[in-house]
Amino acid sequence: MLCEKLNGLRVELESLDRVEIFSFRQGSVSAVFGSKDGPLVAPILSCRITGDSSLVIDGVTPINWENIEFGLEAISVMRNGVKSMYKPT
């Protein structure tokens, strides 16, 4: 079910200083990371579902999303232990 909700979804972190964008496609994730007004990187990463509301985005440093909750205007997650909000774009 989580895989179906994420497939085709593009989300952006709500942050004043960081850029973090994920585009989910069938087990892979196109990502953009960096700082606003700074350098960006755009790797393609793998993604694996680890539970009903959790996943791991594998890269040099894995990104753990837990307690994923889909709201009307945003997705709430615990990202590596920190509450984070992502807006669909």
The full set of domain ranges for the chain reads 2-88
12-28 pLDDT, tens per residue?
999 999 999 999 998 89
The top-level CATH class assigned to 2-88 is mainly beta
Q: Can you say whether residue 8 is alpha, beta or left, with left for phi > 0 and alpha for psi between -120 and 50 degrees?
A: left
Residues in CB range of 72: below 8 A, 6 or more apart: none
Calculate the average pLDDT of the chain: 95
Verdict on whether the full-model pTM lies above 0.85? yes
Unique residue bearing structure tokens 């837990």: 66
Unique residue bearing structure tokens 């594998």: 58
- Reply yes or no on whether the pLDDT at 60 is more than 90: no
